[in-house]
């Protein structure tokens, strides 16, 4: 009888753990899917705003637009769900986009993976971890440097002097220069606190 009770108890515990792991995996997959949708929304909104600004006033206008509108666009997108999103980088332009320790670690791993030949567009990391002392799902997706990025984020020879002056005016602590086509510019970082 004791053997039967112990076996039943062990079986019940194993079954409960298996169900919890499966639920956690499904929740993480769902979070990942919703995060990718949120990234697509933010990336699209930022690109649309940047392109309109470039067409209206060139790259100097785009620098001012990024400074004045990027944070507001991000905040607006963060209002509609429990998921929170931001952009971050090891070489950030805006100090508000400085990575936390977890983001810095993932960005460094992305750099190592890219150096070993993984395409920047394939660099995505999702996990359940802690954020600000609370359990959270977190996802990061790398942002590759495209041709249009070089006007504001490239080498000194890529960035026109007037654009460089505007960058310095709006971002006196700028570190986001010196990139080449295909480099990792930074990443989208998404998180959701869970109970």
In the prediction, which pLDDT does 5 show?
56
pLDDT band at 24 (very low <50, low <70, confident <90, very high): confident
CB 107 within 8 A of CB 99: yes
Alpha-carbon distance 52 to 145, whole Å? 19
| Cβ proximity of 37 and 31 under 8 Å | no
Verdict on whether the full-model pTM lies above 0.95: no
How wide is the angle at C-alpha 40 spanned by C-alphas 125 and 110, nearest 5°?
Answer: 25
SS (H, E, C) the chain: CHHHHHHHHHHHHHHHHHHHHHHHHHHHHHHHHHHHHHHHHHHHHHHHHHHHHHHHHHHHHHHHHHHHHHHHHHHHHHCCCCCEEEEECCCCCCHHHCCCHHHHHHHHHHHHHHHCCCCHHHCEEEEEEEECCEEEEEEEEEEECCHHHHHHHCCCCCCCHHHHHHHHHHCCCCCCCCCCCCCEEEEEEEEEECC
Q: HSE, CB side, 13 Å, CA atoms: give it for residue 165.
A: 5
pLDDT of residue 2: 56
Mean pLDDT of 109-133: 96
Domain range list for the chain: 2-40+81-159+172-193
Which band of pLDDT confidence, cut at 50, 70 and 90, is reported for residue 18? very low
User: What's the pLDDT score for residue 158?
Assistant: 94
- CA neighbours within 13 Å on the CB side: how many for 27? 16
Q: What is the pLDDT of residues 41-79, one digit of tens each?
A: 999 999 999 999 999 999 999 999 999 999 999 999 999
Residue range 78-109, pLDDT digits in tens: 997 889 999 999 999 999 999 999 999 999 99
Question: What pLDDT does 176 receive?
Answer: 96
Residue 152 has pLDDT above 50, yes or no: yes
17 — pLDDT class (breaks 50, 70, 90) = very low
Strands 124-131 and 134-144: antiparallel
């Amino acid at each position: 009888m004791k053997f039967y009770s112990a076996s039943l108890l062990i079986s019940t515990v194993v079954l409960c753990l298996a169900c919890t792991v499966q639920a956690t995996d499904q929740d993480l997959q769902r979070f990942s899917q919703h995060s990718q949708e949120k990234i697509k929304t933010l990336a699209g909104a930022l690109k649309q705003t940047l392109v309109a600004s470039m067409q209206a006033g060139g790259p100097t206008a785009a620098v001012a637009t990024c400074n004045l509108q990027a944070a507001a666009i991000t905040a607006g997108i963060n209002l509609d769900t429990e998921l929170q999103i931001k952009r971050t980088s090891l070489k950030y332009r805006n100090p508000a986009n400085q990575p936390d320790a977890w983001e810095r670690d993932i960005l460094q791993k992305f750099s190592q993976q890219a150096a070993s030949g993984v395409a920047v567009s394939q660099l995505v990391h999702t996990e359940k971890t802690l954020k600000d002392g609370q359990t959270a799902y977190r996802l990061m997706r790398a942002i590759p440097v495209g041709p249009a990025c070089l006007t504001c984020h490239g080498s000194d020879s890529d960035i026109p002097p007037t654009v460089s002056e505007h960058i310095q005016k709006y971002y006196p602590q700028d570190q986001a220069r010196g990139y080449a086509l295909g480099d990792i510019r930074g990443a989208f970082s998404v998180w959701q606190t869970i109970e």
